[in-house]
Amino acid sequence: MSPEKREKTSILIIYTGGTIGMVQHLESGTLSPVKFDQILKEVPELNKFNYNIKTIVLNPVLDSSNMNPSVWVKIALIIKKNYNTYDGFVILHGTDTMAYTASALSFMFENLDKPIILTGSQLPIGTIRTDGKENLITSVEIAAAKQGGKSKIPEVCIYFDFKLYRGNRTVKRDSEQFSAFHSVNYPALAVAGVDIRYSDEFIYHPENNGILKINTRFDDNVVILKMFPGISEKVFNSIIDIPGLKGIVLETFGSGNVPTSLWLINCIKKAIKNGIVVLNITQCEGGRVIMGQYETSLELLNAGVVSGKDMTAEAAITKLMFLLGQSLSNNEIKMYLNKSLRGEISE
């Protein structure tokens, strides 16, 4: 049905798995996802919106620790297929890798003009103290929000525990608290209290209003290499020497620093000479990489390492996989890594 002919706001919920729809197994006591296709029965409050709400259940449903690029593509294709029929999309997803999926989807969609809101919960929706109901209900309301006939939030976001964040700025910070996510380097896009208060000035709008495009190729020849005091040449070298490796996200200390050992700089130079793209991000929750600020990062700059500035590790690795999956030269990849594609980096 074309959007003009629709009278009611239409929202598509895509259930991928995660705690929100899990049940506990009697024998083992473990939690695993169930089909949970009766979402409107579980959360009858949703009917009060008077929206047309439809649910698609991914097959199989997953604990999000089992997510991978092929599932990101599956989700993106469902959205693409239903894009004109719905006003907004809510993805129910496990919290463990939600920030990776949100980041990956943000890069996949070009010229997005509708909301894609990921949410989930820390307690299954069938439990008395579940946080899943509020997370789901408010996500649906946000996905339906319009202003001047247009979607209020044309972004891939994570809504959790009363806050709406840009997906590619978000990190899972707690496995027990209801406030499981945060976004240290970018403000919340909305806060839900008595009203949902949107911070319009922080919402991302695509630069040109072209038609929706999705890019579905990712390259998994990448690694996240976290620095630690005492990392050995043997370990570092064996990672650099992985056959077919094309990209490294180097998680460095503070504002982008590494030990000044000659072997380390030589390893990095060798990697870059072999065509591997090296992206520098910080291990800190907040702040950014400033290569050249200290002696301990100057050599990285000179060697041709790219600054990831204030990107999260989740955004950095998915962006690298995404860019390596496109037909781009190394110089183009380096240029795009360093600039904002979907608001994931402060320039």
95 makes contact with ligand ASP (CB under 6 A): yes
Binding mask 102-131 for ligand ASP (x = CB under 6 A): ------------------x-x---------
96 makes contact with ligand ASP (CB under 6 A): yes
| Closest CB 214 distance from ligand ASP, rounded Å | 24
Q: Which stretch binds ligand ASP (CB under 6 A): 16-24, 80-88, 151-159, 304-312?
A: 16-24
65 makes contact with ligand ASP (CB under 6 A): yes
Q: Which stretch binds ligand ASP (CB under 6 A): 71-79, 93-101, 110-118, 259-267?
A: 93-101
- Pick the binder of ligand ASP from 10, 73, 88, 94 (CB under 6 A): 94
- Pick the binder of ligand ASP from 64, 130, 170, 183 (CB under 6 A): 64
Cβ closer to ligand ASP: 17 or 325?
Answer: 17
Check 16, 19, 138, 252 and give the catalytic one: 19
| Closest CB 266 distance from ligand ASP, rounded Å | 40
Residues in region 19-58 near ligand ASP by CB under 6 A: 19
251 makes contact with ligand ASP (CB under 6 A): no
Q: HEC states along the chain?
A: CCHHHCCCCEEEEEEEECHHHEEECCCCCCEEECCCCCHHHHCHHHHHHCCEEEEEEEEEEECHHHCCHHHHHHHHHHHHHHCCCCCEEEEECCCCCHHHHHHHHHHHEECCCCCEEEECCCCCCCCCCCCHHHHHHHHHHHHHCEECCEECCCCEEEEECCEEEEHHHCEECCCCCCCCEECCCCCCCEEECCCEEECHHHCCCCCCCCCCEECCCCCCCEEEEECCCCCCHHHHHHHHCCCCCCEEEEEEECCCECCCCHHHHHHHHHHHHCCCEEEEEECCCCCCCCCCCCHHHHHHHHHCCEECCCCCHHHHHHHHHHHHHCCCCHHHHHHHHCCCCCCCCCC
Q: Which stretch binds ligand ASP (CB under 6 A): 91-99, 198-206, 240-248, 313-321?
A: 91-99
282 is catalytic: no
Cβ closer to ligand ASP: 63 or 155?
Answer: 63
Residues tagged active-site = 19
What is the contact surface with ligand ASP in residues (CB under 6 A)? Answer: 17-19, 63-65, 94-96, 120, 122
